[in-house]
Amino acid sequence: MLLRAKAMAVTTASSPQSGTHSLNRLNVDYTAVQLTLNPDGPEEGRKELLQRLKIVSDKAREESKPLMIELDSIPTSTQIEMYGGLSSARAMLVIMSIQQLQDAGVHPSIWAFEPTDDETFTEAITAQAHVDDRDNTVLLVVAGGLSAGQIGNQLSQSEKNIISLAARTQGVSGVLIGPGAYYRHLVQLNEGIIKRDEAVDVIAAQFGDIGKIFEKSRTTSEVL
């Protein structure tokens, strides 16, 4: 599947899993970690996780496979009550999680997270990622899901709103598209159900639509 993606000029990433293998053995562009972290979780477990991520971060830098962390946090009922709601609790925990990772010496080249309902929180998370003038990229996550049996892609209004928000938010460089935008087409290509040109056209059209919305929103933004 990686070879198919590389042949189609799709940017690729692989999870380091245990972090013990050589990243250079994988023909990918990025090292990717999808992480759900509660900064108030059990200290021993968090400490071990942060140590492992520090190893991955250092290894990715050493082997020139930039680290991307897609970060989320699931608040407890107590935290939801403490912060006045699910959205605000999640945002505060993501900010605290970024800070803990930074303090532990984990320095990804790319941070990615799903935006909150409140644009101010999205801006605050982005600011924390760039604290102390850190040179990294921040992306907002767009799911890019597909309905069963669907070949073409249609962006939902929610996805369009996220793309527009990314374009309008200071410090956000773009969007991270979930595998739903291309995975099924690569599988169908690999199994011979569709031809390469068809897969390329559909994926390119989806990404093209995203790019148009992003550029239009950034051009008309009063902030940027």
pLDDT in tens, 178-213: 777 777 888 888 899 999 898 888 888 888 889 999
Is the pLDDT at 151 greater than 50, yes or no? no
Would 199 be classed as within a structural domain? Answer: no
Please give the share of the chain, as a percent, with pLDDT higher than 70: 82
Q: What is the pLDDT of residue 31?
A: 85
Q: How many domains does the chain have?
A: 1
Q: Express each pLDDT in 72-123 by its tens digit.
A: 999 999 999 999 999 999 999 999 999 999 999 999 999 999 998 889 999 9
How many whole angstroms separate alpha carbon 174 and alpha carbon 95?
19
Q: What is the pLDDT of residue 215?
A: 94
Would 205 be classed as within a structural domain? Answer: no
Taking the CA atoms of residue 121, residue 83, residue 156 and residue 69 in that order, the dihedral angle to the nearest 10 degrees is 60
Would 167 be classed as within a structural domain? Answer: yes
Q: What is the pLDDT of residue 32?
A: 87
> Using 50, 70 and 90 to split pLDDT, how confident is the model at 1?
very low
171 vs 4, which has greater pLDDT?
171
Q: What is the pTM of this model?
A: 0.81
181 vs 62, which has greater pLDDT?
62
Would 194 be classed as within a structural domain? Answer: no
Q: Can you point out the beta strands (E) in 15-109?
A: 30-36, 67-72
- 126-132 average pLDDT score: 96
Would 221 be classed as within a structural domain? Answer: no
Looking from the CA of 205 toward its CB, the CA atoms found within 13 Å total 12
Is the pLDDT at 37 greater than 70, yes or no? yes
> Using 50, 70 and 90 to split pLDDT, how confident is the model at 152?
very low
Q: What is the pLDDT of residue 14?
A: 57
Query: Contact at 8 Å (CB) between 181 and 206?
Result: yes
Amino acid, single-letter form, for residue 136 = N
> Using 50, 70 and 90 to split pLDDT, how confident is the model at 46?
very high
> Using 50, 70 and 90 to split pLDDT, how confident is the model at 25?
low
- 148-163 average pLDDT score: 71
Tell me which residue range forms the domain holding 156. Answer: 12-179
Q: What is the pLDDT of residue 93?
A: 97
Q: Which of 164, 163, 173, 89 is nearest to 129 (CA)?
A: 173
Is the pLDDT at 26 greater than 50, yes or no? yes
Is the pLDDT at 146 greater than 70, yes or no? no
Residue 97 belongs to domain with CATH number: 3.20.20.70
